[in-house]
């Protein structure tokens, strides 16, 4: 768990509700970098949009919708909690502005270095140069969030989630730039927009930047939240960041020639496998954290270990609601769902801020109220 920030004399100060912490130099550094990157990225966006206004507008609409759908799905499919929208927007902005803006400066320099190493005509230049610049830049956003207590990076799953959002922000802006600029130079601009969007969004995009940075984010979060020995935490973080760069390089590589659609699909198989393993491990670790909270920290009359057996998965919660609906009707099922949400909020609050905190006290009140409503639905009619 990320430790609370302290003021002079070592007295802990309360966490902010989000990563927006005006007392944190990390937050102000993020804000300054975002402003500078905005000045770098905005002209690129307008140039790409105006190169061919019609196809540029279509490309912008497609990529905006893509990002919105992808981010909403990631948000709604979270296992235990809904992360603060402000934190999510901050992660998206880091990928879309800071990582893109700085990579536009550092990318050409790295390409020149790699060309000097392996030759100007090598098809491996992009496969080596792009990951060396883009993956560390995206990972720095997760490091910054982990250093701000209000971000509440408290499990490996948090790191994977925010890493995915950072990668998604990068992917949407980069995809739009490539799509709009390629279409502006093509004979049939609209057809090119469709082809580029399908390739970079619906094919390769499903296992692209969001996937790479989710993997890296899990490793970075492990460094900050694990209680393992320092050498192990640093080793995992460095190894996982290297893995994200290798996955990026593999997707860009010329290893599988032929149709770019077929090539991207085949390359996606091992990438998806790595991402699924990462998410599975991160969710198992998160589940173990909350199981310990239910056993050792939160009183049993609020969340008992038996309660958590039901809370542990979406499937078990859904089955519990279905059984409640069959026995006591739809209102009781809705009240049980409200109780589950309140109990999960309490576990999150107790882990992030402790049981003796305003956030946990508020969650306790919601659990008590939800349990009373459920009892009334079941036996009070």
Percentage of the chain modeled with pLDDT above 90: 57
For the chain, what's the residue count? Answer: 381
Chain centroid to Cα 190, Å, comes to: 31
Average pLDDT over residues 247-263: 88
3-class DSSP state for residue 12?
strand
How does pLDDT run across 166-192, given as a tens digit for each residue?
Answer: 999 999 999 999 999 898 888 788 899
Residue 80 is predicted with a pLDDT of 83
Any bridge partners for residue 6, and if so which? 12
Residue 186 is predicted with a pLDDT of 80
Average pLDDT over residues 338-357: 89
Residue 380 is predicted with a pLDDT of 64
* Model confidence band, residue 371 (pLDDT cutoffs 50, 70, 90): very high
Residue 14 is predicted with a pLDDT of 62
How does pLDDT run across 124-137, given as a tens digit for each residue?
Answer: 998 999 999 999 99
CB 173 within 8 A of CB 96: yes
Tokens of 142: 């997760």
8 secondary structure, DSSP code = T
How does pLDDT run across 36-62, given as a tens digit for each residue?
Answer: 999 989 998 988 888 888 988 999 999
Q: How many CA atoms lie within 13 A of 138 on its CB side?
A: 38
Q: Is 363 exposed, middle or buried (0-12, 13-18, 19+ CB in 10 A)?
A: buried
Tokens of 231: 């050498």
Residue 358 is predicted with a pLDDT of 84
Residue 13 is predicted with a pLDDT of 54
State yes or no: pLDDT of 204 exceeds 90.
no
Which residue in the block uniquely carries the two structure tokens 């990002």? Answer: 67
State yes or no: pLDDT of 10 exceeds 70.
no
Residue 379 is predicted with a pLDDT of 81
Distance CA 353, CA 373 (A): 27
User: Helix H segments across the chain?
Assistant: 25-51, 53-76, 85-93, 100-118, 125-146, 156-185, 189-197, 209-225, 230-252, 260-292, 305-311, 314-328, 330-353, 358-379
Tokens of 134: 């883009």
Q: Report DSSP letters for 134-180, one per residue.
A: HHHHHHHHHHHHHTSGGG---SHHHHHHHHHHHHHHHHHHHHHHHHH
Any bridge partners for residue 12, and if so which? 6
Q: Lowest-confidence range among 7-16, 31-40, 368-377?
A: 7-16
Residue 381 is predicted with a pLDDT of 55
Distances (CA, A) of 184 to 18, 50, 65, 258, 316: 40, 9, 21, 25, 51
CB 121 within 8 A of CB 139: no
CB 95 within 8 A of CB 141: yes
Distance CA 147, CA 129 (A): 28
* Model confidence band, residue 343 (pLDDT cutoffs 50, 70, 90): very high
Residue 8 is predicted with a pLDDT of 42
Chain centroid to Cα 29, Å, comes to: 21
State yes or no: pLDDT of 2 exceeds 50.
no
Percentage of the chain modeled with pLDDT above 70: 96
CB 149 within 8 A of CB 3: yes
CB 305 within 8 A of CB 295: yes
Distance CA 305, CA 295 (A): 5
Listed by start position, the domains of the chain span 25-271, 298-379
Q: What is the pTM of this model?
A: 0.90
Which residue in the block uniquely carries the two structure tokens 């409200």? Answer: 338
333 Cβ neighbours under 8 A, 6+ residues apart: 321, 322, 324, 325
How does pLDDT run across 219-235, given as a tens digit for each residue?
Answer: 999 999 888 899 999 99
Residue 241 is predicted with a pLDDT of 95
């Amino acid at each position: 768990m990320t430790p609370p920030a302290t003021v002079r004399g070592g007295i802990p100060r309360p966490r902010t509700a989000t990563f927006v912490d005006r007392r944190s130099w990390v937050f102000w550094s993020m804000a300054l970098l975002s402003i500078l990157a905005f000045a770098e990225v905005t002209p690129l966006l307008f140039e790409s949009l105006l190169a061919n206004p019609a196809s540029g507008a279509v490309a912008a609409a497609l990529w905006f919708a893509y990002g919105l759908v992808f981010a909403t799905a990631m948000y709604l499919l979270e296992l235990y909690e809904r992360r603060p929208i402000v934190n999510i927007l901050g992660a998206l902005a880091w990928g879309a502005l800071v990582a893109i803006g700085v990579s536009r400066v550092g990318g050409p320099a790295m390409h020149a270095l790699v060309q000097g190493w392996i030759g100007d005509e090598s098809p491996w230049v992009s496969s080596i140069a792009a990951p060396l610049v883009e993956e560390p830049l995206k990972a720095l956003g997760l490091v910054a969030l982990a250093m701000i207590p209000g971000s509440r990076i408290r499990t490996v799953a948090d790191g994977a989630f925010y890493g995915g959002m950072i990668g998604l922000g990068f992917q949407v802006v980069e995809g739009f730039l490539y799509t709009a600029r390629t279409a502006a130079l093509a004979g049939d601009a609209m057809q090119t927009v469709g082809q580029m969007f399908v390739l970079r969004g619906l094919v390769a995009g499903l296992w692209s930047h969001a996937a790479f940075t989710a993997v890296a984010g899990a490793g970075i979060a492990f460094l900050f939240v694990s209680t393992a020995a320092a050498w192990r935490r640093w080793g995992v973080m460095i190894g996982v960041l290297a893995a994200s760069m290798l996955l990026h390089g593999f997707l860009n590589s010329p290893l599988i020639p032929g149709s770019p659609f077929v090539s991207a699909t085949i390359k996606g198989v091992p990438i998806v496998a790595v991402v699924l393993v990462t998410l599975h491990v991160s969710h198992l670790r998160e589940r173990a954290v909350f199981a310990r909270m239910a056993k050792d920290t939160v009183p049993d009359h609020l969340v008992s270990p038996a309660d958590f057996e039901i809370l542990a998965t979406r499937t078990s919660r859904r089955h519990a609601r279905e059984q409640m609906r069959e026995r006591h009707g739809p209102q009781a099922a809705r009240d049980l769902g409200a109780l589950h949400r309140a109990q999960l909020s309490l576990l999150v609050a107790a882990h992030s801020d402790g049981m003796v905190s305003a956030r946990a006290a508020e969650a306790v009140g919601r659990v008590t109220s939800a349990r009373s409503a459920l009892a009334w639905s079941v036996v009070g009619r």
